[in-house]
Each structure stands twice: as C-alpha cells, then as structure tokens.
Amino acid sequence: MEVRDVRRRAAAGASAKFPPPWADRLLGTKDLLAQASSLGLAIYVANQLSHLAEGGEVADLCCGLGADSIGLAMAGHRVIGYDASRQAILCAAHNARVAGVADRCRFEAADVTQLSLSGEIAVHIDPARRAGGGRSISPARYSPGAKFLRQLPTVTRTGALKMSPAVDYHTLADWPHTQLEYISTGGVCRQLVLWWTQTPPADTAQPSRKATVVFGEMTSPESISLPAGEASAAPLGEVGRWLIEPDPAVIAAGATDDLSAFLARSGACRPWRIDPQLDWLFADNSPGQTPLARSYRILEVVAGRPGDVRRAVRALGGGVVAVKPRGVRLDTDRLQRQLRGPGKRCLTVLWGRVGLSQRAIIAEGEGPSAQ
C-alpha cells in the first residue's frame, strides 16, 4: 500500500517528480520520495556537473531511491550510488532499470563517511535533512554532518552538495572553494546547491552565488540563471503601475537588485523598490514575460487592514482572491476566504510591510503563469 501511494504521489500534479510511465513502476518509501529530487532538477544538476567533471565517474553519496543517480547517468556519467540503507539501494537499482540507465549505474550499501574518495572522482551528495520527522535547515543536523560535508571540497576534485534552500547564504561564507546556486521550479525554491572545483574552467567566471529557474519538459529541462550580489542597490521610489515579484530563487539568493539591473539592461523597464527590505520591484510599464519574475498590473493600493482590502476587492469586481504576503505573517487561507467577492475577476493581493506600516496592493497578474 505504501508503494502504491508513493507511485501516485511521484506523478501527482505540479509537484510530480517522475514521468507517469516511470512513476507507475517506481520503488520507494514515503521518506525516500520526500528526499528525492524531481527528475528535471536531477538532470539540470547533472548537466551542470558535466561542465566541471568533463564526463567520467561520479560518486552519488546518500543516493536514496536513485533520482539523482538516474539524472547523472542520463547526462552521460558512470555512477556509483552509495547509501547506508540497503532498502534504498534495492529501490535505486530497480528505479535505474525502469529509467533504462542500469548499464551506467551500480549501487552499494555503505557508510559514506568511511569511503576512500579519490581526488579525481566527482562527487554528488544529497545528505538526509530530516530529523524527528521534520525537515532540518541547519547543516549541523544533516546526516552526514557538517564536519564531513565541509571536508568534501578539500579532498575531491569537483562536486555538488545539496542543502535546504532555506539556508541563509551568509552562514556559508566560510565554506571552502564553493559557489552557491539557489534553484527553483514551478514557483518554489527547491534546492540550494554548493558547487566546488579545484580546477575551474578557464573560459568562465563563476559568481559566488546565483539564482536559477528550471522550467520546460521534465526529461529535457531548460533554465535561466542570474548572478547574485553583483549589482548596486535599486533606486527607491513610490508604488508604480506594475509590481514585479522576483522568483523565490532570486529572493533566496539575494538577487532582487540584480534582477532590477538585468531588466534595465534588457530595456524591458527600469524598476525600483519602495522599501530596501521588501523584495518587490515596481515599474511604470510591464517588463514582459521572464521566468525570473511574475508581473502584476496594479489596480489599487490600500492600508493592510482586512476590512479595507475586502471593500476594495468588491469595488473592483473581485471574485477569487490570492493573497501573497511578504515580510508579514498572515493566515492566507483564512484571508482568501474572507476577501472573496461576488464578482468574476481573479485578483491577487500582494501584502507587505513598508517601514512600520502594512500595505495591500491589489493587482491582476500578467500572462497565464501569473495567477
């Protein structure tokens, strides 16, 4: 019954991790599926690792049910997957056969902290981040722990370490030889990857951190990246005609000002902020469609009080209302029920703190992905 439920979850809706034909034959537990990457993200990371590892063998440490091993094999690597759980190894070997890459994968049960990792091998590791039934943010509570993880970039040639995207990049500033990449898909920042290499490619300058949005087909994902922390602060101003909401990966990477500079360079618009602490941008014209942000045409701005917002929604002919808070704690489910009006207009309320007060910006999203 658990396998049946895992297969259903693996192919369910926007959070699907595998194509239905594969998911229907998947082996795994609920915990292994929760830890697993989606196939699209696994392939993206594997392709990036190919640029650093130049093919060859990759050790996939803490391989779980094998999603990342499959992605690595699909990118052309030979993969050795290690996991302390024999159950995980059995599942990973089965899932590699289902994906048609068993000839490039082998799996072994092992304590990864006891392996003798060659200085020439590339490493991919997705440490367990669940403690006491919940997902842990701090690397100190990962398994294997922070001491082992910090040593990996110093003893191996190149690799990728997955961490919780909720980790603040400031806390990782002293990790050796690493670049940080916050990765999102489907409007959710799902991974933080620490990259390292002892011999960086001569023709590329790697930013210390960047934001990446992965989109498109699961088996052939596309992506767009934005270097973070390189642009000067966006100018300050008042609310404009358009609100630009950065993708969650852009916000996590601290790249809101970099997004502003990117949009200005592209000629799409010249954005500004209304508060240095608020990760929204504003402009007088639409920036157009970009995977790095969602755009909203502003209809009205009111004080952040439920009664004021409810009256404004009804005056605008609002029906279904989506509430998107930034910098404030709100019960969004309850508010969305309270604010829903009798009209047919689908509205978004972007609710944030500006200085000491709260503002509610009532808007309509641009394009099919904006709502």
User: Is 82 domain-assigned?
Assistant: yes
User: Is 170 domain-assigned?
Assistant: yes
The confidence band for 331, taking pLDDT boundaries of 50, 70 and 90, is: very high
Which distant-in-sequence residues (6+ apart) come within 8 Å of 316 by Cβ? Answer: 299, 300, 343, 345, 347, 362
What CATH number corresponds to the domain at position 318? 3.30.2130
| Statement to judge: residues 275 and 203 lie in one domain | no
Is 70 exceeded by the pLDDT of residue 203?
A: no
| Statement to judge: residues 158 and 270 lie in one domain | no
| Statement to judge: residues 179 and 261 lie in one domain | no
**Are the CB atoms for 255 and 183 separated by under 8 Å?**
no
Q: What is the pLDDT of residue 200?
A: 59
| Statement to judge: residues 157 and 277 lie in one domain | no
DSSP character at residue 127 = -
Of 200, 227, 254, the residue that ends a domain is 227
Task: Enter the tokens of residue 103.
Answer: 């000839």
Q: Does the pTM exceed 0.85? A: yes
Q: What is the pLDDT of residue 371?
A: 36
User: Is 371 domain-assigned?
Assistant: no
Helices H, strands E: what count in the chain? 11, 17
Q: Span 218-239, mean pLDDT?
A: 95
Most trustworthy range by pLDDT among 128-132, 212-216, 265-269, 366-370: 212-216
| Statement to judge: residues 138 and 262 lie in one domain | no
User: Is 120 domain-assigned?
Assistant: yes
| Statement to judge: residues 187 and 265 lie in one domain | no
Of 227, 252, 283, the residue that ends a domain is 227
Q: How far apart are CA 359 and CA 278, in angstroms?
A: 11
Domain around 335: 242-365
Task: Enter the tokens of residue 25.
Answer: 């034959």
| Statement to judge: residues 272 and 215 lie in one domain | no
Print burial letters for 149-169: b (CB count within 10 Å at least 16), e (below 16).
Answer: bbebbeebbbbbbbbbbebeb
What CATH number corresponds to the domain at position 68? 3.40.50.150
In this structure, of 105-119, 149-163, 198-212, 291-305, the range with the lowest mean pLDDT score is 198-212
Q: How far apart are CA 351 and CA 359, in angstroms?
A: 6
* Amino acid identity for residue 163 in this structure: M
Is 70 exceeded by the pLDDT of residue 194?
A: yes
The confidence band for 136, taking pLDDT boundaries of 50, 70 and 90, is: low
Is 80 exceeded by the pLDDT of residue 132?
A: no
Q: How far apart are CA 185 and CA 164, in angstroms?
A: 15
CA atoms 172, 175, 179, 185: torsion sign: negative
Write the pLDDT tens digit of every residue in 53-84: 776 789 999 999 999 999 999 999 999 999 99
Is 50 exceeded by the pLDDT of residue 370?
A: no
Task: Enter the tokens of residue 44.
Answer: 């993206």
| Statement to judge: residues 323 and 220 lie in one domain | no
Of 164, 198, 227, the residue that ends a domain is 227
| Statement to judge: residues 204 and 72 lie in one domain | yes
Which distant-in-sequence residues (6+ apart) come within 8 Å of 101 by Cβ? Answer: 70, 73, 74
Alpha helices in the chain (DSSP H): 2-10, 20-23, 30-35, 39-53, 67-74, 86-99, 146-155, 248-252, 256-266, 306-315, 332-339
Q: Span 105-109, mean pLDDT?
A: 97
Number of structural domains (the chain) is 2
Vertex 55: Cα angle to 34 and 91 (nearest 5): 30
The confidence band for 118, taking pLDDT boundaries of 50, 70 and 90, is: confident
DSSP character at residue 324 = E
| Statement to judge: residues 176 and 316 lie in one domain | no
| Statement to judge: residues 45 and 162 lie in one domain | yes
| Statement to judge: residues 187 and 316 lie in one domain | no
**Residue among 304, 302, 290, 297 at smallest CA distance from 352:** 304
In this structure, of 121-125, 242-246, 353-357, the range with the lowest mean pLDDT score is 353-357
Q: What is the pLDDT of residue 368?
A: 45
Is 80 exceeded by the pLDDT of residue 221?
A: yes
Is 90 exceeded by the pLDDT of residue 364?
A: yes
Is 90 exceeded by the pLDDT of residue 47?
A: yes
